[in-house]
Amino acid sequence: MNVTAKILVISCASLLFAACDGSSSDDDDAPTAPTNPLISATYQSCVNGVELEYQFSNENGVKKESAFAALDCSGDPLTTIDTPFDFSIGGDVTSNTGETAWKLDITENGIKTYTIVRLSGGNLSTDDLNFGAPPPVSSAGRDGTTEDKRFDGLDLSRTYDRN
Task: Indicate whether 11 pLDDT > 90.
Answer: no
The Cα-based distances of 15 to 27, 83, 132 in angstroms read 22, 59, 49
Mean of pLDDT over the chain: 83
Choice between 38 and 72, residue whose per-residue pLDDT is larger: 72
Task: Indicate whether 69 pLDDT > 90.
Answer: yes
Task: Indicate whether 27 pLDDT > 80.
Answer: no
The structure's pTM equals 0.75
Cα torsion through 51, 56, 59, 64, rounded to 10: -30
**Cα angle value 38/36/89 (rounded, 5°):** 90
Residue 39 is predicted with a pLDDT of: 84
In the predicted model, what is the mean pLDDT of residues 101-105? 96
Task: Indicate whether 131 pLDDT > 60.
Answer: yes
Amino acid at 19: A
Choice between 160 and 18, residue whose per-residue pLDDT is larger: 160
Residue 35 is predicted with a pLDDT of: 61
Amino acid at 135: P
Task: Indicate whether 74 pLDDT > 60.
Answer: yes
Residue 101 is predicted with a pLDDT of: 95
**Across-strand partners of 98?**
none
In the predicted model, what is the mean pLDDT of residues 73-87? 97
Q: Round to whole Å and give the CA distance between 153 and 142.
A: 9
CB 68 within 8 A of CB 50: yes
Residue 21 is predicted with a pLDDT of: 42
